[in-house]
A and B are shown apart, each in its own frame.
Chain A
Amino acid sequence: MSIIEQLVSAVGVPNFGVLIPEIIVLITAFIVFFEELFSKNRILISATTVIGLLLSLLSIFTIKQGDLTLYGLYVVDGFSLLFKLFLLISTIIIVATYRRYFESKDIYFGEFYYLTLFALLGMMIMVSSPNLFTFYVGLELSSITTYILVGMFKTKNKKLKDFDYKSKEGAFKYLIIGGAGTAVISYAIALLYGASGTFDFMEISRAALNDANIGLIAGMVLLVLGLALKAAAVPFHHWAPDAYEGAPTPITTFMAVAVKIATFALILRVMVEAFPFISKDWALVWSILAALSMTVGNFIALRQKSIKRMLAYSSIAHTGYITAALAAPTGMGFAAFIFYTLVYIFMSIGAFAVLTFLEKTEGWNNTFDDFKGLAKRSPLIAIVMLVFMFSLLGIPPTVGFFGKLGVFLALIGSDIWWLAVVLVVMSIISAGYYLRVVSVMYMYEPVKNISFNINGVEKSILILMAVIVLILGIYPTVFWGISTQMSSLLIAGIGR
């Protein structure tokens, strides 16, 4: 520790200590990289990854809030620390599901671990960026690593050859559309730079206050569109279902949870810190994107046969629910946005983890037919899946209800009735596919007799997630308090 500090003080970057969590993640990634070269011990590699992540998690609690480092290019405030904490927690849980899935599919590679760590590093940079430089580098680090992770289903097992190709295809579609999104975001940055002469969020907001010219507005709109593409909002969602379906299921979980919430945190920070004085313009754009995502996502999800692909469309619909909160640019709206983003982690990890664990069984393809009669064969998995489906649908006493309620109240508070109505109607329509999973599990007889291969760790992950979803649904006060605090912190930073 002190050696790092000495080395760095020689370089002369003030306040370098606040980067400890990122440094630990980076060092762990390199350690795993070399371990993978010299030893193929799978338990060693996963244990190193989890220990590194836990150390990084602990180090977050030692950091003082509200510091700038790297000469103002990197901000460590309560908002970024909160999201780093949740990113690390979700990554630990997801990494814990990796080994047994990959072994069962014959695609075990050490690369999965260090690429996950590099993607995590990119997300940690994303959530603490006060500047378009840091923003861009973090976003690209996480995106490009995720492209590789999606395409890594490379197996020698003859029966799974089809999945091998699907994974490449999903990755390539993600790469091309994501690459176009990158180009659009870069162009937006160029326009913002040309209009304001700076890359700093605060100075851009000041330039927008003085003179909101056409270049600035165009840059803002292009930035919103590019970020909507990265968050898989309709009409830029075409990559999402394919990449989600093609990727190995734990990687799908990682994309649907970690990448997504980091993108949401980034969206909120950019919108609130860089464009607070033209909030009417971006609220309009986001409300249209949100309404489209909710409608298209839910309607296409209704006709899916595979539950994995259905959850991919459900994740697009959730992008709609979450970004709907941005249509109301008030403290309440931002609090609802943060709250829904945080609670989405638990239900989404749970639902995808169920798929990950079941898919290890031979001949299981996560279709609705496979789920028939699951309650008779494995009551535990059926009941936790039921909790996650109810939560994604938004039925009390699960936490999904409070997420939607927060967004709904924020929209009504700002008199955006049309979007509130769309939100409620689309939630009702989404019952069509979430409840179908439940009915298939409980109201059918099992077709074939398969025994599942699920060990204690995996069961405890599922039970933990279900219990968190239920407890937060009964007692959401703590999370709501944190979200309100973060939203007032962001608002207090305007025009700093």
Chain B
Amino acid sequence: MIPYEYYIALSGLLMVLGLIGIIIRRNIIAMLISTELMLNAVNIAFVAFDMKLHDVAGQVFVFFILTIAAAEAAVGLGLIMAIYRLRKDVSVDTLTELKL
């Protein structure tokens, strides 16, 4: 059996990848997907900790995270649609009306 530390390492890696994605991607849809990736990384961490603790509470928490990720994606896609209607573009460079 694979020890649980490997899964934790995987989830940490995905988390960092998500953060990097938010910082470097120029497409706002890709940025939204990156936040979803981070939330999925957390799901892996929860399941791995359940494996270590022989418990189910963490797996219950995964359902909460799934629901919230879905709600957030719905709101985010709605906003992207609205932005696209107004500017015909989904690049980060359009999001520059508000600045210092």
Contact = CB atoms under 8 A, between A and B. Distances in A.
A170 B99 CA distance: 10
A154 B100 CA distance: 24
B79 A172 contact: yes
A172 B91 CA distance: 12
A324 interface: no
B93 to A, nearest CB: 12
A165 B35 CA distance: 23
Contacts of A169: 83, 95, 97-98
Interface in B36-72: 38-39, 41-42, 45-46, 48-49, 52-53, 55, 57-58, 61, 64-65, 68, 71-72
A193 B49 CA distance: 8
Given A169-B95, A183-B18, A193 B76 contact: no
Interface range on chain B (Cβ under 8 Å from partner): 35 or more
A183 B35 contact: yes
B31 to A, nearest CB: 5
Contact of A144 (B19, B39, B65, B72): B72
A300 B100 contact: yes
B71 A190 contact: no
Interface range on chain A (Cβ under 8 Å from partner): 35 or more
Contacts of B72: 140, 144, 147, 175, 179, 182
Contact of B41 (A175, A179, A187, A242): A187
Contact of B95 (A172, A180, A197, A245): A172
Interface in A397-428: none
Interface of B: 8, 11, 15, 18-19, 22, 28, 31-32, 35, 38-39, 41-42, 45-46, 48-49, 52-53, 55, 57-58, 61, 64-65, 68, 71-72, 75-76, 79-80, 82-83, 86-87, 95, 97-98, 100
Interface of A: 133, 136-137, 140, 144, 147-148, 151, 154, 162, 164-166, 168-173, 175-176, 179-180, 182-184, 186-187, 189-191, 193-194, 197-199, 241-242, 245-246, 300, 303
